Each structure stands twice: as C-alpha cells, then as structure tokens.
Amino acid sequence: MTVIGCGHLGATHAASMAEIGHEVVGVDIDNNKIATLRSGRAWFYEPELDEMLARHVASGRLRFTTDFAEAGEFGEMHFLGVATPGMADRDDYDLSQVWAAVSALAPYLHRSCLIVGKSTVSVGTTTATRELVQELAPAGAAVDVAWNPEFLREGHAVQDTLRPDRIVVGVTSAEAEQKIREAYQPITDAGVPLIFTDPATCELVKGAANAFLATKISFINAMADLCEVAGADVAQLAEAVGLDPRIGRAFLDAGIGYGGGCLPKDTRAFTARAEQLGADSAVGLLTVVDQINASRRRRVVDATRKVCGGDLTGKRITLWGAAFKVGTDDVRDSPALDVAIRMHAQGAEITVYDPMALETARAAHPELGYVGDALTAAAGADVLVVVTAWPEFRTIDPEAIAEVVAERVVIDACNALDEPRWNDAYWSLHRIGRG
C-alpha cells in the first residue's frame, strides 16, 4: 500500500501500517520531509513514532519517495493523508492538496486498486474524488474510491491508529469492503469495531464527532462563566455531572478552550457545509459553540488586564504554555499563543515558556520572548498566566517562583495548578470557573 502525504496523519499511518505487517511506500512532494523520514525519524514530535519509523525503515518494510509513478506501480491500496486546512477567505476546507494528490497519482494507476481517503473533508468529497479519478486514470483502469477518516489525537496518534475506538469506512462496493477488511484485519482481530457505511454518512461521522467534542468543551466553559458569578466551583460541577454515563467526564475541563490544527477548522467547516445544505438547527448550535470557544481567549486577556489595573502597557507577563494542548509541540491555532499575541498587541512585555513547543512557537511568532525554563521565565513578572496544562506546572514549588516574580499574582487559565500549595505560598490565585 501507499500513503500519499507524510504529515502528522500520513507519516503516522504509514508507520502503523508497516507495524501491522504491510509493505508501505510513503509519498510526499517535500524533499526535506522525505529525507528526514528516510533517516527513520519524523519531522515533528509524536510519542512512539520515531521508534516505529526507525524499525520499519531499517527492515525495508517502509520506504519513502517523491515519485508518484513508483507509488502508482507499487500500490494495490492508496491512502490519501494530505492536509485539508481551512480556507483563508471562508469557513470551509481547502481541498487543493486532495485534488493535487489525486491528479498526480491517477495517471499511473494501471492496475486494479483502491484509493482510500483519510483526510477530514466535507460531505460529497468521495464522489468528487471518484469523478476526478475516472477523468485522469488510464482508460479501462479499475480504480475504486472509499473514505476512511482518521480519529487521531495529537500526542496519542500511534495508539489511536493501532488501537482505535473504531474504524469507519464509506464504500460503494463489496470489493472495496473486502480490501479494507483485509488491510485492517490485524487491528480488528484485537476487537476494534469496523463500521461500513455509505460515503456521505462516513464523511459526516468525522465532522459530527469533532462537533460533539467541541460542544462539550464549550458547554463546560459556559458553565464556568455561570459558576464564577454564582460563587460555585466548575471543577466539582464537572466531576458530578460527568459521573452520569450518558454524559461522561471526558472533555469537561473548563479552561482556555479548544485549539490545534483540527477541531477549530473542522467545526467551522462542518458548520459551513451544514449551512450550504440548509441544516439550520445544526448551524445555529455550532455557531454558538464556536463563539463560546473564541470568548475564552478574550476572557483570559481581560482577566489579566483587570489584575493589572486595567492596562497591560509595559506590564511584564509570563505565560507558561505555548502548545495548543499537552503532549505535543504543535502551536497551530494555539489558544495559549493567541492569548500571548493579544497581550503583546496591548503593550505587554511577554515571556513564554513551554517544555516542548518553544521552537515551534518561536518560529510562528518571533516577536514574543522565549525562555527555556519555568523559573527563569517568571523572573520579574507582574503576572504569571498558565495557559497549557503541562503536568510540570502542578509540581513546581510556588515558593521558589515567588522569590523571582515582581508580584505574586497568577491566573490559572486551564486549572493546572495545585491550588492549596499556591494559596499557602500567599499567591493571589485566579482560576477559571471558580467563584
């Protein structure tokens, strides 16, 4: 099999398919990425991935190329793992990489094969892909198209590929279904559910799943606002509500809101497609979800400005956190960095520390200040703001931090700190959703 596109999704999928016994060729147009992957390591951080890449590149079971002709001749099954970012001018997916990958591959598909999309896309993309393949593939080529969206969490992508909650595939033929069953048999034999649907349902499953997760996050953040004005504790509320098995505790952590390269743009694109199709109730619900999420970043900035007397100009603000979540160096649409940029724009002197994402943050926003350890970053700070819930921050000694800051004021925007320890050290601690 081949995997077209060797980013966060494609490189992980390629290595995982080699891990379960397949012969895999990864394809990308970026020579630098391919050179790095050929050396047996990823060009980004993902736990367990480098070890798996090194093992299967060394064995010869996994190799990487920029040659689509080689891929077309080799593959019986071609997974599309290219990026589908948000559009610059509207809330929709930019599918240009999907069309480019299919256009580059299709002319070389002389043998019977199956193209399987894994990228997150709008409903109707499978049909459009099939039409493009039929237009570009050699006459008489027997090429089928299915869709099999990923459900990966950054920081857990290897485990989510090898031991997922479910595998969902949209197919239109029995032959495609059989090929998928064979490809995933080592995983499904371990008890992972394999669900076959029509392509439209499959495409909507991914969007609906992300929309529901986004809704849970925005719901608990709305409850945090209510708890603050009512004098209640959102953490205790979440624990109690989450014990109901119909609701569940996951994704009920109040804080700075969701970010990253998937959930924000997926929710907006899903909403845009619903609007195009006239599904007004879905549009209304998800528009509010997105609005609540956007408001969280503003609230953190507002809270910081308030403790600074209403003006951030010249204030020294230290932010602990840059990654959009724990366990990754990814800063795409990071709420943490967005808060930093907003404060910087209001005249604050910003210093950022993150245990993993300093270099990616520095590359994205060199105008901010960066320091390589939490204690040094806090030196001289008028306010300390915790914006990514790294476990390290819970274990830091607040007395040691108190020795270097200008003021003992901390805003815990993601409920990451050990509250009693910071209170005992005489910090003025401000938390999300705590009245």
Q: Which residue in 113, 262, 308, 414 is the catalytic one?
A: 262
Cα separations in angstroms, 263 against 35, 102, 183, 394: 30, 25, 28, 26
Q: Is 414 a catalytic residue?
A: no
Q: Which two tokens stand for residue 95?
A: 């599918």
Residue with tokens 């869709």: 147
Catalytic residue numbers read: 262
